[in-house]
Amino acid sequence: AMAFFMQALDATILNTALPAIAHSLNRSPLAMQSAIISYTLTVAMLIPVSGWLADRFGTRRIFTLAVSLFTLGSLACALSNSLPQLVVFRVIQGIGGAMMMPVARLALLRAYPRNELLPVLNFVAMPGLVGPILGPVLGGVLVTWATWHWIFLINIPIGIAGLLYAHKHMPNFTTARRRFDTTGFLLFGLSLVLFSSGIELFGEKIVASWIALTVIVTSIGLLLLYILHARRTPNPLISLDLFKTRTFSIGIVGNIATRLGTGCVPFLMPLMLQVGFGYQAFIAGCMMAPTALGSIIAKSMVTQVLRRLGYRHTLVGITVIIGLMIAQFSLQSPAMAIWMLILPLFILGMAMSTQFTAMNTITLADLTDDNASSGNSVLAVTQQLSISLGVAVSAAVLRVYEGME
């Protein structure tokens, strides 16, 4: 829960501060997508390694290493004075983040029986949801009355507390040693990096379109090579046998589809409120807080909702609500009453929280102990990659309209 809190606080506090950071570094606000994508893409690329490391060295050892890297990366981000430096240090943060939450979730999967998984995951997630409430407001306060550097420095005491608590209380689960799939890691990791880079190149328009398209096609080719490699390797980085579990396959496809749309919301909303509507960072941060508040309220009710309506009806209905809430933002304007923006954000927070909890639970519920580590890694990769692509695609679309104007 503490790791979830730190990551959630870091993500939401950064989103509110992006316009201020862009101004300080003399860059366009849209260029700040690199600070988001560099982190999420690093996490997506290295998450599969986290499962192997946790199996090999133990959950407690890898978790404490992850928190240490994340904390040191936060300090380095605070000291950066250019966008390239910030991107590099966000990568260091991403290395820690890639191991932090997946390893913690893996420890829960091995510590509790499957029939207790939903309430346990729900309980652990709730303290972490305090981060998204504090993040936007705290980010606005720090940017308005201090400097943006403090949004990273605030992670340091939290990280130290997390290290001490994990060292004392977290179990050190291990499993039988297995050989690390280096070839699979290179093929899979490079495919993720090239695909996201290709999308970003399209948006930035710093190279010809055919070059960006070539990068994307190459990434798809590498992914196909990984699939061929995984079929012929006894212990691949990500086992394709996972997808024989029907609920797992449905959950992964659902995560990709939904998070491509919702992943860009935390990036776009602060830009719309501050750059488009002219709100101060503090006001914009306060307006984003209802999204997290809705998430917490939904967390307290999701178990009862699922028991009454079932997973299928809940997910279908919630997905429709999310689509409508995101679409209505296109009708917003600075002249509209402020409650007409806050209410949809509150509803969106409730809907996304319900959807993610239900989808994550159904994705992992039918996995055996033998493939829990690999399945957990695939789920986490899917989530981070979808967020990264959502930010990249949304920024590319904004670049297109920016060029038209």
The per-residue pLDDT for range 330-355, each reduced to its tens digit, is: 888 888 888 888 899 899 989 988 88
Give the dihedral sign, CA 166/167/172/177: positive
- Contacting residues for 299 by C-beta, under 8 A, at least 6 apart: 122, 125, 126, 129, 353, 357
Please provide the CATH number assigned to the domain covering 2-180+237-387: 1.20.1250.20
Predicted confidence at residue 129, as pLDDT, reads 66
pLDDT in tens, 181-203: 889 888 988 888 888 778 777 76
* Pick from 344, 318, 347, 322: nearest CA to 331: 344
Predicted confidence at residue 203, as pLDDT, reads 62
Query: What's the pTM?
Result: 0.80
Q: How far apart are CA 200 and CA 217, in angstroms?
A: 14
Helix, strand, or coil here: 174? coil
For the chain, the structural domain boundaries read 2-180+237-387, 181-236
Of the candidate ranges 123-127, 177-181, 192-196, 242-246, the one whose mean pLDDT is the lowest: 123-127
| Phi, psi torsion values for 174, nearest 5 degrees | -135, 165
- Contacting residues for 378 by C-beta, under 8 A, at least 6 apart: 48, 238, 242, 252
pLDDT class for 5, splitting at 50, 70, 90? confident
Of the candidate ranges 48-52, 118-122, 382-386, the one whose mean pLDDT is the lowest: 118-122
pLDDT class for 226, splitting at 50, 70, 90? very high
42, 355, 345, 392 alpha-carbon torsion, rounded to 10°: 30
